[in-house]
Amino acid sequence: MKYIKHMITISMVFLFAYGSENQKNSLTFEKEYSEEDIVDGGTLVVGIMGDPEALNPLTALSKYAKDVVSLIFRSLADINADLNSFSPQLAKSWLFSNDGLSITFNLRTDVLWHDGERFTAKDVIFTYAMQTDPGVGWDGLFYKESIRAVKALNDSTVIFEFLERTPTMLMDAVEGYIVPEHLLADITPNRIAEAEFNRSPIGTGPFKFVKWKTQQSIVLEKFNKYYIEGKPHLDRIVFQVVSNNISLWQQVRSGDVDLMEGVPPRDFVKLKDDWAKRKTNIRPITFLGRQYDFIGWNLIDPDHYATVMAEAGDEEVDLDRLLKPNKFFGNQKVRAALTMAIDRSAITELVNQGMAVRMDGPTPIIWTSYNNEANTIWHYNPDLAVQFLNDEGWVDSDGDGVLDKDGLKFSFEMATNIGNERRKQALTIIQEQLSGIGVEMIQKIADPGLLFGRMLIPRQFDAALIGWEVGLKMDLTPLFHSSSLLMPFNFTSFRSQEFDKLKEAAKGNFDRTATQEYWDNIAKLLSFELPYTWLYYKMENVALHKRFKGTVIDKRGTYINLEDWWVPHEERTEVDRMAPN
């Protein structure tokens, strides 16, 4: 089950990596309007590059599905821009118990589902049951792992009881949208994927579902009985499915689409220039997003791993026997040398057109725990890289220009997924820079399914240049903890007692300074050990028609306050006057 969960998340990562992306610190635009100027009406057309698979919070996986779902549904509370505190949504308030092991939520009593039914504590209890049901396969299950039980005291009060105290208790409790018990109770959990509800969802959010033309469009309309009076302001949201980002970008420029995420860097740079010169109605919005690219080194010997796994069959495998150090990358000094041989600053700049930040350590830049001071920074230094390799016995003894050691040539494959020009370019630069220090790297461009299913998960690879999508829960356990060793995410097979100890010590620690110390130690350890060579953290490039006011777009997402967006009468276009159809 756990395996499946990870698989799902991995496939998500690639959906993201292909096309569009998200958010930065809250940027509010257009200051010249005041509260009194706000008027209702208007239509927002969003261009998306894929048809959602389901509009059910329990089964939605792709970014597009999750984006649409976020407008139809509400959760108990919503994370603030500091990524630490929360604002109330369906819960009016909450209170930690004295022992710190439970949280009591006071629910709103004025919330209606889009079909007119009243929202109650029953829905919260039901949602938790569904989220944690193995038959459902909800992809946020790991948020709920430390929760022992959820109980309703009455129609408007629920208690979340925890197994242990952790710094992320509140986040764990409120994660996930609440679904209607009265509509889903009759559905067998493992048949949820076939539920009619997935294509005609009923939620409590500001916009209600109207219609869905497969591979064409999804239309949402303002929910008039939304629990916040006067919201939302827009009448209609249309998600228009466009097959690729080139034609989507054309539709944005022609005015057919108002909002696009994932504008190609080159086009975005031009857009920024045009916007500065007031030559366009399309506003460029950029912020640190949720995605970074890195090289993962296989720390173990792939052939040995395959042999032992095959021998073991279904039986338990002894980790010490299974994990034999990789002949190239099993050595920290070699990894350091390879890292120093790569000009990460130049790559960051070149392949992203400046729309990215160099990354030196494991902590995603949007996390509050990010502190680049803590990282060991391996600056570009090919000479030192050569020296490191020579020290480890890698020398060019046969004069063929490639280093060797005990008859073994330093030649390996670095894989990436097909169809990502940015990563392909990075790979080409890295190839040339490695050849400069006498290391032969062969590019391996693979289908994403093949890359994960046949190479990374069974550990049959040398090195991989891929990207992760960053979650808001600050936790590196799935990537680097020894408990994740045979799991898909810890694909480099990183094992460090020090990391495990730090993790253990940080558990249940609520002191901010101490927590930061923990994160600094983690960063220091991993940036020195280099299971990854981190490359760059991407900026997200969003284009939005300038008539939309009151927008907040940041690292949490592009749609976080859509209920506040509005369009002044004088700026309305044909699209806003479009009759509902």
Partner 1 sequence: MVGAVIVLIIFFSALGAPILAPYDVNAQNLTMSLQPPSTSHLLGTDVYGRDLLSRLIYGARVSLGIGLSAAFIATTVGVFVGVFAGFLGGWVDWLLMRIVDVLMGFPRLVVMLLAVGFGTPSIWLTLTVLGLLAWMEVARIVRGEVMVIREMLYLKAAQALGLKRSRIIMGYILPNVIGSVIVSTTLLIGTMILVEASLSFLGLGVQPPNASWGTILNQGRVDPVGAWWISAFGGLMIIITVVGFNLLGDGLRDLLDPRSLT
User: Which residues of the chain form contacts with partner 1 (CB under 8 A)?
Assistant: 266, 343, 346-347, 349-350, 418, 421, 425, 427-429, 431-433, 435, 442-443, 445
Per the CB < 8 A criterion, the answer to whether 10 and 203 are in contact is: no
Which residue lies nearer to partner 1 by CB, 246 or 505? 246
Which residue lies nearer to partner 1 by CB, 54 or 430? 430
Q: Please state the closest distance from residue 116 (CB atom) to partner 1, in A.
A: 53
Q: Please state the closest distance from residue 401 (CB atom) to partner 1, in A.
A: 12
- Non-local CB neighbours of 194 within 8 Å, separated by 6+ positions: none
Q: List residues bridging with 496 in a β-sheet.
A: none
Q: Please state the closest distance from residue 413 (CB atom) to partner 1, in A.
A: 11
Q: Is the peptide bond before 232 cis (omega within 30 degrees of 0)?
A: yes
Per the CB < 8 A criterion, the answer to whether 441 and 434 are in contact is: yes
Cα separation, 475 vs 236, in Å, equals 37
Pairing of strands 236-241, 43-48: parallel
Cα separation, 203 vs 239, in Å, equals 18
Q: Please state the closest distance from residue 373 (CB atom) to partner 1, in A.
A: 27
Q: Please state the closest distance from residue 428 (CB atom) to partner 1, in A.
A: 5
Q: Please state the closest distance from residue 340 (CB atom) to partner 1, in A.
A: 16
Neighbours of 426 (CB within 10 A): 25
Q: Please state the closest distance from residue 229 (CB atom) to partner 1, in A.
A: 50
Q: What letter represents residue 548's amino acid?
A: F
228 to 102, 112, 123, 204, 546: CA distances (angstroms): 28, 11, 19, 11, 25
Cα separation, 398 vs 378, in Å, equals 29
Q: List residues bridging with 161 in a β-sheet.
A: 102, 149
Nearest to 174 by CA among 51, 73, 47: 73
Q: Please state the closest distance from residue 277 (CB atom) to partner 1, in A.
A: 18
Which residue lies nearer to partner 1 by CB, 443 or 482? 443
Neighbours of 574 (CB within 10 A): 8
* DSSP, residue by residue, 238-307: EEEE-SSHHHHHHHHHHTS-SEEE---HHHHHHHHHHHHTT--SEEEEEEEEEEEEEEEE--B-HHHHHH
Helix/strand/coil for 70: helix
Q: Please state the closest distance from residue 412 (CB atom) to partner 1, in A.
A: 14
Which residue lies nearer to partner 1 by CB, 95 or 346? 346
Question: What are residue 324's phi and psi, to 5 degrees?
Answer: -95, 135
Q: Which tokens is 60 given? A: 């939605």
Which residue lies nearer to partner 1 by CB, 326 or 417? 417
Q: Please state the closest distance from residue 421 (CB atom) to partner 1, in A.
A: 7
Which residue lies nearer to partner 1 by CB, 420 or 527? 420
Q: Please state the closest distance from residue 461 (CB atom) to partner 1, in A.
A: 15
- Non-local CB neighbours of 70 within 8 Å, separated by 6+ positions: 177, 205, 557, 559, 560
Question: What are residue 172's phi and psi, to 5 degrees?
Answer: -60, -40
Cα separation, 261 vs 557, in Å, equals 10
Which residue lies nearer to partner 1 by CB, 372 or 443? 443
Per the CB < 8 A criterion, the answer to whether 61 and 139 are in contact is: yes
Which residue lies nearer to partner 1 by CB, 18 or 126? 18
Cα separation, 101 vs 408, in Å, equals 56
Q: Please state the closest distance from residue 356 (CB atom) to partner 1, in A.
A: 15
Q: Please state the closest distance from residue 426 (CB atom) to partner 1, in A.
A: 11
Nearest to 532 by CA among 474, 479, 454: 479
Which residue lies nearer to partner 1 by CB, 352 or 558? 352
